[in-house]
Amino acid sequence: MKKTKLVIAGNGMVGHQFLQTLADSAQLDRFDVTVFCEESRLAYDRVHLSAYFSGATADDLAMGNADLYRSWGLTVLTGETVTDINRDEQSVTTDKGQALRYDKLVLATGSYPFVPPVPGHDRPQCLVYRTLDDLDAIAAAAKNATVGTVVGGGLLGLEAAKALTDLGLKTHVVEFAPRLMAVQLDDGGGAMLRQKIEALDVSVHTEKNTQLIDDGEQCFHKMNFADGEVLETDLILFSAGIRPRDELALQSDLEVGERGGIVINNHCQTSDPSIYAIGECALWNKQIFGLVAPGNQMAKVAVSHLTGGSDSFTGADMSTKLKLMGVDVASIGDAHSRTPGARNYTFVDERAEVYKKLVVSADSKTLLGAILVGEAENYGTLLQYMLNGIHLPEYPDSLILPNRGDDTQTGLGVAALPETAQICSCHDVSKADVRAALDSGCCSLADVKGGTKAATGCGGCSALLTDLVNHELEERGVDVNRDLCEHFPYTRQDLYNIVRIEGIRSFDELLDKHGHGHGCEICRPAAGSILASCWNDFILTEQNVSLQDTNDTFMANMQKDGTYSVVPRVAGGEITADKLIVLGQVAKQYNLYSKITGGQRVDLFGARLEQLPEIWKILIDAGFETGHAYGKSLRTVKSCVGSTWCRFGVDDSAGLAIDLENRYKGLRAPHKIKFAVSGCTRECAEAQSKDIGIIATEKGWNLYVCGNGGMKPRHGDLFATDLDRATLITYIDRVLMFYIKTADRLQRTSVWMENMEGGLDYLRQVVIQDSLSLNEELEQQMAEVVATYQCEWKTTLDDPEALKRFRHFVNSDAPDSNIVFVEERQQIRPATPDEKNAIAAEPIKLVS
Amino acid sequence: MTTDTNWTAVCSQNDLVADSGICALIHNTQIALFYIKKEQAVFAVANLDPFSQANVLSRGLVGSKDQQIFVASPVYKQHFCLKTGHCLEDENNSIQAWPARIEKGQVEVLF
Ligand code: SRM
Ligand SMILES: Cc1cc2nc3c(=O)[nH]c(=O)nc-3n(C[C@H](O)[C@H](O)[C@H](O)COP(=O)(O)OP(=O)(O)OC[C@H]3O[C@@H](n4cnc5c(N)ncnc54)[C@H](O)[C@@H]3O)c2cc1C
Ligand code: SF4
Ligand code: FES
């Protein structure tokens, strides 16, 4: 069979969706596909473009992938633009002079940012915000700039403003209309958004008509407005709307709209039936759709039509939910209440800076539209009311009034949603699709996300999806079992409370009273940790010893060959020359591999079990203490030198770090805890990546909580600012004890925070406002732990019973012959299996 | 198969640690010994962890799973049945187990 020659102009988000849909349809082999991609990169996620300035790389944003496309058998030409269509010959020509025949042509050329033709708009450092190349140009220009201005206060303009602030520029937004986001918001919503954005130090100028851009006096440019005012700025970003890229249609006489856009029918065909147009370049029913979801629907319709299907495009909902500079903003349906007879409800909370509006039908039965600024949790629910014409409750305002904990049920039960209800518009996933995914074996939220892609686009639907999945799982009789393990029908939090309330001091007692069997490697260490958090007894007592992971049992970290590492505490990373010398001497005497850790201290590796007590005796005699590198407990408090030495430091960060490390050392928790203290905002101690992070300010200390590095990095949240030392410590006491009380086993503070209902605000209420009346108890519990601190190694050295286990064989003084080292870079390392075989004959060198 | 196995005395009962392990050397073989308090019984299995090739099983945590008493390797956490040496994750990596008992205050292994 002769293959259909299919040519696609444009490989943006919608162009990519088209290819993906075609590949999924399993009909690719009927086509001979060539894709022209003007940009030097294959399709990437433009929706998350701004993430490029907050750490995402081009690779992170990539959607298209050369290997994938190759495996689908496509010819993809990057950096090549289609310049002409010859409809009579059915061929296209490119800027590289290539001509190619087509049977079917798809235009997915997107749109371009509109730049108002103001005199001076083409000066250097006048840029736009659409492609990764644009972003590179912006970043380069920002290097020599201190002030940046965005022209346009719409959705994209505010995204661009965020980017400028991320680049460290003093940012202005200049808007022609009287309010921000004029398309999506009304005056009240726009005003609230403005207030919130100005609080983030972005200056907003509305009703400003730029007439001329020329040389500035302090800055590179001066913008002159119609009202006579001027604004100086080094860099200008135009974000004054988008225009469809319909130049190919104009050139080849396809029908285009009065104000641009390639006219398409319900099958996404242009006025020439062999040519399709999809995405932002297409005009359907006199409408351009500047969002990705409608474009994706068009892609699916075009594929369907090309492969003989009957899908049709019948318009799309333009509701949106976004986070702009950290502010939740949502606009649903007829937000401006243009429907005849429509009525509004509004709710304004000036203190919390929340604005909400509902637009309902004349009979108050159905929801027509809504605006949410400052708090948009109910977006998914409201959208479903609107899209599915679900009957509103008797008092529709209950949907926007804050839930004060009385019985009013404001949420829409997911059970009420019809099967066809679209849950995720980005990926067009309906309730039926989610149920089908569960029927076909998905059994968690993550599975459903992976299987359907729901909630992996803009993320606006994730709360609703979570509700739906949980509900459906419950319906299927899956109860999400949160029991610790088969031996205890309790969660970790339950067990913690049981231990506290009943004063249980041993695992055997806990197992007798509340569990069964012998315990296991899950509940034993969890119970060990709880007992330690509560009572802080020596971990190697006869009762406690069988609960400890091997690292805790031997108070050292086991390495791959069964040897251990030794990490003494070096509070705040500060160490005297004498102590450094001791570390060096010990390393030399026992031939240990020495390394500076990522936690500002020294790790000595390769100690055999029987050597640990001797080594620790030397260290303790020299004034060291255990570093708890093995425990789910406080690890290190990293510090920078701070005001003592650093010319920028505003407070004594090292001093505070040392005090904090000494206060919380030995505290056992559901997982390890790390702190850092920086002496100024330059943040050399990386405090924002720690469970507890502290940064000195001119007026005190800023406290960040629940950050972490590791597998899934998370920046800490700013919890409170400008604290004095005493308040700082009180807050840390409470946060940590509340974490110990309520976290799951092996849950870092970051995950704990992310799973906490109410999040940061809730934690603030508990810790600062004492909303649970718990603070006295939390502080007292911490005081007990602090008061009962002991260096576990010192206690062990004084306890002959505990020392008994520090030998490899119970019945021989021989060392473990399986431990073999070789030398590398003048230090030891474990031998590989091959090296071991090679030196098997040699007796190992013993260090006396 | 050899038949000349004997009950070999290894150490004193007092050397055992309740619900935890110790290691003994018998004719150049490293053996992990566990005392399980609830059963009042001692178990002997190989000390060599087949997954990490380190002699460390005596330092693992003990527990039970569906009535089977096991030790979890301290390195990569695989479970080994204390009675049979059977590896719960991967049969092919099961380890040797020996009968063990306490006689007159001495721990003995049939070796
Ligand atoms: C030694 C050290 C690496 C080094 O050479 O620098 C290290 C070594 C180990 N890390 Fe680490 N981590 C070390 C700093 C870090 C850091 C950096 C830091 O603390 O500033 C991080 C990222 C920051 C963080 O935790 O938020 C880090 C994130 C991890 C993680 C991932 C945690 C997570 O939440 O994703 C693990 C795995 C775990 O804990 O489950 C881990 C686990 C381990 C273990 C314990 C793995 C193991 O079980 O064998 C390693 C053995 C330590 C040993 O034998 O002494 N290590 N580890 C560092 C010791 C610091 C210290 O002085 O105590
Ligand atoms: C900063 C930013 C934030 C956004 N946020 C959101 C959001 O939160 N939610 C949302 O729904 N949408 C958002 N959008 C809009 C969304 O990105 C677009 O709707 C989507 O990218 C449209 O896809 P498209 O394929 O039609 O166009 P594009 O993604 O622009 O792709 C068109 C591609 O075709 C290429 N091209 C053009 N002409 C030719 C030619 N002649 N030959 C070859 N190649 C050609 C272009 O170079 C381009 O690469 C955002 C956009 C931006 C810029
Ligand atoms: S964080 Fe500030 S005070 Fe600390 S070392 Fe860096 S610049 Fe100096
Ligand atoms: S609606 Fe955007 S991810 Fe689901």
pLDDT of A61 higher than 70: yes
Domains (range + CATH), chain B: 7-110 (2.102.10.10)
Are residues A131 and A259 both part of a single domain?
Answer: no
User: Can you give A590-616 as a three-state secondary structure string?
Assistant: CCCEEEECCCCCEEEEEECHHHHHHHH
- Which pLDDT score, from 0 to 100, does residue A412 have? 60
The rounded mean pLDDT for chain B is: 91
Distance from the Cα of B98 to chain A's closest Cα (Å) equals 17
Q: Please report the beta strands in A447-542, taking only residues with DSSP state E, as ranges in sequence order.
A: none
Look at residue A416 and tell me whether its pLDDT is greater than 80: no
Show residues of chain B in contact with A508, CB under 8 Å. 37
Tell me: do A77 and A133 sit in the same domain. no
Q: Do A97 and A122 share a domain, yes or no?
A: no
A33 within 8 A of A60, measured Cβ to Cβ: no
What is the mean pLDDT of the segment spanning A536-541? Answer: 88
Assess whether A638 and A778 both reside in one domain.
yes
> Which residues of B sit within 8 Å Cβ distance of A?
10-11, 15, 17-20, 22-25, 30, 33, 36-38, 48, 52-56, 59-67, 69-70, 72, 74-75, 77, 79
A149-177: average pLDDT = 93
Q: How far apart are CA A66 and CA A77, in angstroms?
A: 10
In the structure encoding, which two tokens stand for residue A228, read together? 């006579």
pLDDT greater than 60 at residue A409: no
Q: Does residue A350 or residue B66 have the better pLDDT?
A: A350
Read off the pLDDT band of A408 (50, 70, 90): very low
Is A418 a domain residue? no
More confident residue, A710 or A198: A198
- Does A848 score more than 50 pLDDT? no
Q: Write down the pLDDT at residue A405.
A: 44
pLDDT-derived band at B24, boundaries 50, 70, 90: very high
Distance CA A168, CA A145 (A): 9
Q: Predicted confidence band at A847 (pLDDT cuts at 50, 70, 90)?
A: very low
Nearest CA to ligand 3 atom 6: A684
Residue A417: per-residue pLDDT: 82
Is the full-model pTM beyond 0.80?
no
pLDDT above 70: residue B92: yes
For ligand 3, mutation pick of A600, A646, A683 (most atoms within 8 Å of CB): A646
pLDDT at residue A195, as a whole number: 93
Q: What is the DSSP letter of A658?
A: H
Six-digit token string for A605: 């590796």
Residues A8 and A100 in one domain: yes
Same domain (yes/no): A677, A768: yes
Per the structure, how many domains does chain A have?
3
pLDDT band with cut points at 50, 70 and 90 for residue A321? confident
Indicate which CATH number applies to the domain containing A753. Answer: 3.30.413.10
Of the listed ranges A140-154, A203-217, A424-438, A556-570, the least confidently predicted one is A424-438
Domain range for A176 is 113-243
Evaluate whether residue A75 is within a structural domain. yes
**How many Å from the N-terminal Cα to the C-terminal Cα in chain A?**
82
CB of A129 shorter than 6 A to ligand 2 = yes
Q: Is residue A822 part of a domain?
A: no
Q: Does some domain include residue A553? A: no
Among A311-315, A322-326, A826-830, whose mean pLDDT is lowest? A322-326
Does A125 lie in the same domain as A80? no
The C-alpha angle with vertex A217 and arms to A212 and A218, in degrees rounded to 5, equals: 115
Final residue of a structural domain among A243, A262, A284:
A243
Judged against a pLDDT cut of 50, whether residue B1 lies above it is answered with no
Contact (CB, 8 A) for A549 and A629: no
Which residue type is seen at B16? L
Dump pLDDT digits (tens) for A166-197.
Answer: 899 999 999 999 999 998 999 999 999 999 99
Give residue-wise pLDDT tens across range A449-460: 888 988 877 777
Instruction: Work out the minimum CA distance from B50 to partner chain A, whole angstroms.
Output: 12
The pLDDT of residue A541 is 86
Q: What is the pLDDT of residues A489-505, one digit of tens each?
A: 888 888 998 998 889 99
- Does the structure show a pLDDT above 50 at A837? yes
A88 and A166 share one domain:
no
- Compute the average pLDDT of residues B77-83: 93
pLDDT for A404 equals 57
Percent of chain A residues past pLDDT 70, beyond the cut: 97
pLDDT recorded at residue A842? 59
Q: Is residue A137 part of a domain?
A: yes
Sign of CA dihedral A354, A360, A366, A371: negative
Q: Are residues A105 and A193 both part of a single domain? A: no
Q: In the structure, what pLDDT confidence band is assigned to residue A841 with cuts at 50, 70 and 90?
A: low
Rounded Cα distance, A318 and A289, in Å: 8
Whole-number pLDDT of residue A85:
97
Confidence check: pLDDT of A381 > 70 = yes
What whole-number distance in Å separates Cα of residue A467 and Cα of residue A33?
A: 41
The pLDDT, as a whole number, for residue A844 is: 52
- Please give the pLDDT value at position A38: 97
Three-state SS across A779-804? Answer: HHHHHHHHHCCCCHHHHHHCCHHHHC
Cβ atoms of residues A400 and A377 within 8 Å: no
Final residue before a domain boundary, out of A788, A803, A835: A788
* Mutation target among A540, A809, A817 for the B interface, most CBs of B within 10 A: A809
Which tokens in the block code for residue A266?
């319900």
The mean of the pLDDT values for chain A is: 91
pLDDT exceeds cutoff 60 at A533: yes
Q: Which residues of B touch A814 (CB under 8 A)?
A: 25
Measure in Å the smallest separation between the Cα of B4 and chain A Cα atoms. Answer: 22
Distance CA A502, CA A513 (A): 10
Lowest mean pLDDT among A71-80, A248-257, A412-421, B9-18: A412-421
Is the pLDDT at A411 greater than 80? The verdict is no
Helices (H) and strands (E) in chain A, counts: 26, 39
Residue type, A616: W
DSSP A499-523: HHHHT---HHHHHHHH--TT--TTH
Does any ligand 1 atom lie closer than 6 A to the CB of residue A713? Answer: no
Would the CB atoms of A818 and B74 count as touching at under 8 Å? no
Q: Identify the closest residue of chain B to A525 by CA–CA distance.
A: B61
- Nearest atom within ligand 2 for CA of residue A50: 1
Q: Which residues pair with A705 in a beta bridge?
A: A692, A717
Tens digits of per-residue pLDDT, A7-26? 999 999 999 999 999 999 88
Confidence band of A711 (pLDDT split at 50, 70, 90)? confident
Task: Assign residue A262 the CATH number of its domain.
Answer: 3.50.50.60
Beta strand pairing call for B97-98 and B79-81: unpaired
Q: For residue A8, is it within any domain?
A: yes
Are residue A168 and residue A265 in the same domain, yes or no? Answer: no
pLDDT digits (tens, 9 = 90+) for A261-319: 999 999 999 999 999 999 999 999 999 999 999 999 999 999 999 999 989 999 888 88
A609 domain residue, yes or no: no
CA distance to A288, A294, A301, A417, A696, per residue, from A314 (Å)? 13, 10, 10, 22, 57
| Range picked from A50-54, A574-578, A842-846, B71-75 for highest mean pLDDT | A574-578
Residue A814 placed within a domain: no
Structure tokens at A620: 């303790």
pLDDT band at A407 (very low <50, low <70, confident <90, very high): very low
- Of the candidate ranges A60-64, A158-162, A368-372, A403-407, the one whose mean pLDDT is the lowest: A403-407
Q: Which of A769, A788, A807 is the last residue of a domain?
A: A788
Summarize pLDDT for A426-485 with one digit per residue, the tens: 888 999 999 999 888 787 787 888 889 888 777 777 778 888 888 888 777 776 566 888
A174 and A145 together in one domain: yes
pLDDT value for A260: 95
Confidence of residue B81 (pLDDT cuts 50, 70, 90): very high
Please name the residue of chain A whose CA is at the shortest distance from the CA of residue B16: A810
Q: What is the pLDDT of residue A564?
A: 96
Residues 771-800, chain A: which have Cβ within 8 Å of B? none
Is A672 in the same domain as A762?
A: yes
